[in-house]
Structure 1
Amino acid sequence: MSLIESAHEFVRRYRNRDIDKTALPMLASACPGWVCYAEKTHGSYILPHISSTKSPQQVMGSLVKHHLASVLGRSPSQVYHVTVMPCYDKKLEASRHDFYSDLYMTRDVDCVITSREVADMLAQEDKSLAEITEQPLDSFAKVLNIDDNGTEAGELDGHQGGGSGGYLEYILRHSASALLGVTLDDLKYKTLRNEDLKEVTVEVNGKVELKFAIAYGFRNIQNIVQKMKRGKLLYQFVELMACPAGCLNGGGQLRTSGEETAKQRLAAVEEIYTSVRINTPYDNTLIERLYTDWLGGHDTDKVKAMLHTEYHAVEKFINALTIKW
């Protein structure tokens, strides 16, 4: 739902770009490290450009605490929600007051455990995932008592786009269709200064209509921000992630062992990530039912409350000891 809502948000911003000068470029906000950096360093200048759509972790938090709990006949405070993430900053994200219910006195995500912490806990119990018998995942439709008639979206061979959930890929495909009436085939990424900085364009009749970019790592992020401030950024959308190589290389991922290098470990993780078959969000009956049954449609106040958030400039504290006299 985070991908779908982000795509809808971009289309709204694009259509409103001539009225609202802060509508574009839209900057992806699924990375809490990037968000903290923007709030503390660039404040009100950058914040209007950050996508207001919640990250997948927090969208799931809203779904679990404010819909699943109701389906189960429970109060949100009676459901304990745990996520496993590749990033320690996801703990900070979950602790934001924006994701806390004063009414029910509970967080949307109660506990965040990193991949590394899962491995450490297994090691403490002298257990290995290889020893555990695989079990099928519970059907989310079944848990929510939704009859999807087996018509969830078709499968892709593997994750598309960058190593952080494919925001650019999905949003570009949706926008090309919704705004230009164009169906895109395989996207051709152009690598710029390094592998963590790439761009992709959509042309119609020889004219560039959409130009998106991926920028991973703080050096690339800083370059993007500086270009924005100088009015020289040519992209309408940028997928920003604090970690080089994106979430696959998150700070909470397992460390290397033995003679394996960090580069080799990342390559192995990327191979697994791109080989896992996934369902595309397009025409997913389950998601559409959630929009209807839970949120009352795609453009409602409940959508704004459950799937969107706000970011806040952090005022810099100044005292006599920090002033250069």
Structure 2
Amino acid sequence: MASPLRFRRSLERWNDDRITSQLYAHLDSKLGARSTTPHYMEPNDFDAVRFEMDNGDVALFAWDDDRAFWLGNTETPPALWRTTKYTFDEVPYPVARWGQRELLADLSVESPWLAEYDYLSWFFLPVLFSKDGRETSRTFFREHAAGFPDATRDEALSFYERFLRTGALDDYRYTMASKLGTSKYVDETRMSAAMSEFTVGKVLVDAGYELEPEIEVTTGHSLDYRAKPPDGGQSPLVEVTRPKPPTRRAADTPVAAVRETAATKSTGQLREHGGGAVLFVDCSGFRDDEWSAVVGERPGVRHRPAVVFRARPAGRIEAYRKGSVPLSLNRAVEWV
């Protein structure tokens, strides 16, 4: 499985002849390629070229007298094999901005329904144009409504667009976007679980907290978030889990689905951590009747403190809690 899209940086000198002989010629012989003019003006003080392959792959190359940057979801030419990879935030801003504008222009043609959500498109760009994950990530958003049942694609995308537009995760964009994965095959369960972290992020931000993802703890694990309050007080750690709906698992009732999934998390990673973290159990994949059954019984999850909740794309989030939750969530959820 290829990784999310990143730049490669070369510190060698490049010119038109070398680009033709070592980049274009290789791509053309392997895949069939065209060297084209980029959609947008090249970055300041750089020359740039765009390669389009017969199979739909694309590659961008920008260079000056001292360095060059390659960005592509295609086969990497041997001349660039030993170069180091960098995220969009780790290369010069003009180069990153140019590369992203090029890809977003492609997205507006290839998937205009997705490009309409400009902040979501920008945030997930490293996955939406990854070598292996570009088709599956778009399929997940298009056909599976980002994990929401009984919701339209546009309702789901609007939900996450509103959250991402807050900028709460901008500093952690690559880490968080990568969670969606770059598999060649759509794994709705895994991808929906990844989106649960964004849903919990929305709950915390709506409640007034600042997010810090991927918190390493002494057990060697990483918990999903540290929730920092605006007053600089206690910053609880948060871990997220998502039960499969009962129609997709051996557990034949919604209550059993919640208990079994939460028990796996509670008796594993959280127990090794030694307690203290807040467990969020995301039931957003449950239909109305399934969630009603959970609310009616309010099952425990073998861990306290815990928040069991269900979000709807329109923005309504219902929840119940177990134990003393060290988070003030009244602004973000409706307690049931």
- The question of a shared fold, defined as TM-score above 0.5 by the shorter chain, is answered with no
Does 1 or 2 have the higher relative contact order (CA < 8 Å, sep 6+)? 1
Structure index of larger Rg: 2
TM-score by length of 2: 0.22
Structure (1 or 2) with the greater strand fraction: 2
Instruction: Please give the TM-score of this superposition, normalised by the length of structure 1.
Output: 0.23
